[in-house]
Structure 1
């Protein structure tokens, strides 16, 4: 790399150091990036087993009666989460079945359990020469 870029090639990369905005010397943009100005969307913990896909969402306020859960085979859609009139979408790691999904509150989390969809359908494709 030194032969191609001569010397310290890392100086040519603009984004180095702490990217959170807490360290202005490592962040190329100027400005105040406090949490009060930019809201960070809660990130769920998503993992899968042989039979299920689990989504664990931070949910400190269990009184959110307007929360609605919807899903496709590949995506979880949360309506009125994290705040009222907001929508969040999360990709699932593998396809899930339409029926059999369960949700429950555990401590300060909402746990959603999906049944994995077995993709045993194999399609054969002809190759034209």
Structure 2
């Protein structure tokens, strides 16, 4: 972009009134050599006086395009209206297998505790023949 030998294409803005492209920024070093420091994308419009008065700069812009609606789960904002649904989204999805293992462990523990609690009574009944 910084060629000075004439091989860079030139544009006559009076013939082509609208130009868009990348424009270089450069600095001259101490030895008169140019160094590219950056580029900017710009679009240039050459207007007549009447066209400029009809569309003053900055006032002829369109409204910005709205963003798409975000995909939020049901529990995002209304957690206080339905707390069980919130618990399902927050806790169940993350700790499902740990909760299932804990419930199975408690069920087996209760089964064995009740078994060992009732074994002496049944043993005595069998011995006495009741």
Relative to the length of structure 1, the TM-score reads: 0.19
Higher share of residues assigned helix: 2
Relative to the length of structure 2, the TM-score reads: 0.19
Which structure has the larger Rg over C-alpha atoms?
2
